[in-house]
């Protein structure tokens, strides 16, 4: 597989609310809990909260992709303030597992029949690499879209508001420096 990496950029938007919610869970919602929440919010940095969010998020991403038959590496490439960037590289796609999960058993059976027919006709050497390449490209594009769509929803369920931008390699530098400027981190 020879697909370029892409970048998952996460900007935490509600650090104070996240910290207050965590303190509320431990100290309660009375006056003591509210006071502790305000104090903790002023003392806890954006960086430490985004790091905790990342630690919780990454295993979920890996599990979700593995359940679809997609193996990927995810590396933290930058973190400052409320901003963290991950480099995501798709390593392997188990196509039959993915097709079964995405399209269902009937489609997977039809796809298996197609592959068997191509092999029987002696076309496997020419057709299969093209089919693999096409599936890889489609998966690459769709996984980027799914990350951008599903990750904010999963975080929002935990009262964590983040701006998520999934960016192809060729656009990452421009995105990255614009984000740093916008956040006042440059």
How many degrees, rounded to 5, is the angle at CA 86 between CA 82 and CA 90? 160
Q: Point out the least confidently predicted range of 4-8, 22-26, 64-68.
A: 22-26
Is residue 83 within 8 A of residue 68, CB to CB? The reply is no
Q: Could you read off the pLDDT of 100-146 as tens digits, one per residue?
A: 888 899 999 999 999 999 999 999 899 999 999 999 999 999 999 99
Q: Could you read off the pLDDT of 137-173 as tens digits, one per residue?
A: 999 999 999 999 988 888 888 888 889 999 999 999 9
pLDDT at 23 over 60: no
Q: Which pTM value belongs to this model?
A: 0.81
Domain range list for the chain: 6-92+147-182
Is residue 90 within 8 A of residue 6, CB to CB? The reply is no
């Amino acid at each position: 597989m020879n697909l370029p990496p892409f970048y998952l950029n996460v900007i935490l938007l509600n650090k104070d609310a996240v910290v207050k919610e965590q303190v509320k869970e431990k100290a309660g919602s009375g006056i003591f809990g509210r006071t502790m929440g305000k104090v903790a919010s002023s003392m806890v940095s954006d960086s430490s909260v985004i790091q905790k969010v990342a630690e919780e998020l990454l295993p979920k991403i890996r599990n979700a992709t593995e359940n679809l038959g997609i193996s990927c590496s995810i590396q933290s490439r930058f973190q400052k303030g409320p901003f963290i960037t991950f480099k995501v590289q798709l390593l392997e796609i188990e196509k039959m597992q993915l097709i079964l999960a995405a399209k269902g058993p009937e489609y997977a059976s039809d796809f298996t029949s197609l592959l068997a027919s191509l092999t029987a006709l002696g076309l496997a050497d020419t057709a299969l690499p093209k089919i693999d390449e096409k599936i890889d490209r489609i998966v690459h594009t769709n996984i980027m879209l799914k990350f951008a769509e599903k990750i904010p929803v999963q975080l929002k369920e935990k009262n964590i508001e983040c701006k998520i931008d999934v960016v192809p390699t060729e656009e990452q530098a421009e995105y990255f420096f614009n984000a740093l400027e916008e956040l006042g981190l440059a």
